[in-house]
Amino acid sequence: MAKAFAGRNDWQLLLVGEMAEVLADPDLEGTAWAVPPVALGGIVSDEIRSLVFSAADLVILSFRPGFDRNSGTLMDAISFGKPVVVSGPSYPADLVSELGIGSVYASEDPYELGKALDALTLTTTSGALADARQRFSNSAIARAHFELLVDLANDNEDAAGQWLTIVRP
């Protein structure tokens, strides 16, 4: 992923958490960075997380092909109103496409990541991000959980299915 940024002088790569370890990859040794990346390794505090999301223009997520779980970082990006570039095929990639909040690239392909970055139009995702923020707000998710529990308690499994897209985004 980091290789996609090596020749770009219009971007500064900020690697946070486990992703900061990417810079230790021997394949990156000797890379001529147009703008040196910044790494914040390890577990970051809520305060640092908020600062990182406030400073970021967008969020890039990289998953193994077939990753089928939710991503807390994806939900953070939505709550902070940040467009997302995500690797696919994966469940988060499907969700980003469905919501229209970013673009998808082929996992572990720096060229495809570069194309996805170039294809991302920040202005066209702003309305979709506002919709996603409302759909996945804390109150919307709490309400969906409550309604799901009520439907399950009433043995109304057909109705319960409608809440699963919110309960498990």
Q: Domains, the chain, ranges and CATH? A: 2-136 (3.40.50.2000), 137-169 (no CATH)
Phi, psi of 124 (to 5 degrees): -80, -15
Q: What is the mean pLDDT of residues 18-26?
A: 84
- Rounding to the nearest 10 degrees, give the CA dihedral for residues 16, 20, 22, 24: 170
The per-residue pLDDT for 56 is 92
pLDDT tens, residue by residue, 43-95: 989 999 999 999 999 999 988 888 888 778 899 999 899 999 999 999 899 99
How does DSSP classify residue 34? S
CB atoms within 10 A of CB 155: 9
- Residue pair 99/77 in contact (Cβ under 8 Å)? The answer is no
